[in-house]
A and B are shown apart, each in its own frame.
Chain A
Amino acid sequence: GAGVSQTPSNKVTEKGKYVELRCDPISGHTALYWYRQSLGQGPEFLIYFQGTGAADDSGLPNDRFFAVRPEGSVSTLKIQRTERGDSAVYLCASSLAGGQQETQYFGPGTRLLVL
């Protein structure tokens, strides 16, 4: 079946602008995660959704970052007043039920470049 998809694949924006990144998880997966991957580093946890609610948002770096998942499927990561340091690949992952020790399946990522 279809895997996790993310759009856009690339996004170039100017410092101070607002961006939205979209994630479409595997059909039927109730758990969804956002990670940020800087160049040469491993993915860094941002936020985890179980259904429509954010169960853990402790990884969001500051209040410029916000994510929603209104219908329990597609999620949008929103970044306000972008800064050059926000440049990274933003990865989305999903898992079936959100249980412990459960495999997370990753999307291809959105490469964000803030000029």
Chain B
Amino acid sequence: GENVEQHPSTLSVQEGDSAVIKCTYSDSASNYFPWYKQELGKRPQLIIDIRSNVGEKKDQRIAVTLNKTAKHFSLHITETQPEDSAVYFCAASPQVNKFYFGSGTKLNVKP
């Protein structure tokens, strides 16, 4: 099955700096890559996703890039704010409705 690895496990940045979280996947059949944000004790919420037919997608301060050849994708958050502090999960989907999640990155944005 699919194996998704996520790095780093923790990331601490100063408010206003950028944050980058990286994921790799193993199954070349994966064609959908969502990113979820999970605040402590809350549900995971989709923040951005990318499909395999594009290499980059941007939504305000958040962007995701995908390199299918290397089987990796990254989340970029610019101008970080304290409210960006949370755990972020990447996921890959090689088949209908089956998501494989990374182990998460705890982002701490220091004011």
Measured CB to CB, the residues of A under 8 A from B are 3-4, 31, 33, 40-45, 48, 55-56, 91, 95, 98-109
Q: How far is the CB of A107 from chain B (nearest CB, A)?
A: 6
> Do B89 and A99 have beta carbons less than 8 Å apart?
no
Question: What A residues does B44 contact at CB under 8 A?
Answer: 43, 91, 106
Question: What B residues does A40 contact at CB under 8 A?
Answer: 103-104
Interface residues on chain B, size class: 20 to 34
Question: What A residues does B91 contact at CB under 8 A?
Answer: 42
> Do B104 and A41 have beta carbons less than 8 Å apart?
yes
Q: How far is the CB of A76 from chain B (nearest CB, A)?
A: 19
In the complex, besides A43-B44, A45-B98, A106-B45, 17 extra interface pairs with C-beta distance below 8 angstroms are A31-B97, A43-B101, A44-B101, A45-B100, A91-B43, A95-B97, A99-B96, A100-B93, A100-B97, A101-B31, A101-B32, A104-B34, A104-B46, A104-B99, A106-B36, A106-B43, A109-B43
- Name the one of A100, A101, A102, A107 contacting B43, with C-beta atoms under 8 angstroms: A107
Number of contacts between A and B (CB, 8 Å)?
A: 63
CB contact under 8 A between A98 and B96, given known A42-B103, A103-B49: yes
Question: What B residues does A3 contact at CB under 8 A?
Answer: 43
Question: What A residues does B98 contact at CB under 8 A?
Answer: 45, 48, 56
Q: How far is the CB of B54 from chain A (nearest CB, A)?
A: 12
Q: How far is the CB of A9 from chain B (nearest CB, A)?
A: 10
Closest residue of chain B to A3 (Cβ to Cβ) is B43
Closest residue of chain B to A108 (Cβ to Cβ) is B43
Q: How far is the CB of B7 from chain A (nearest CB, A)?
A: 13
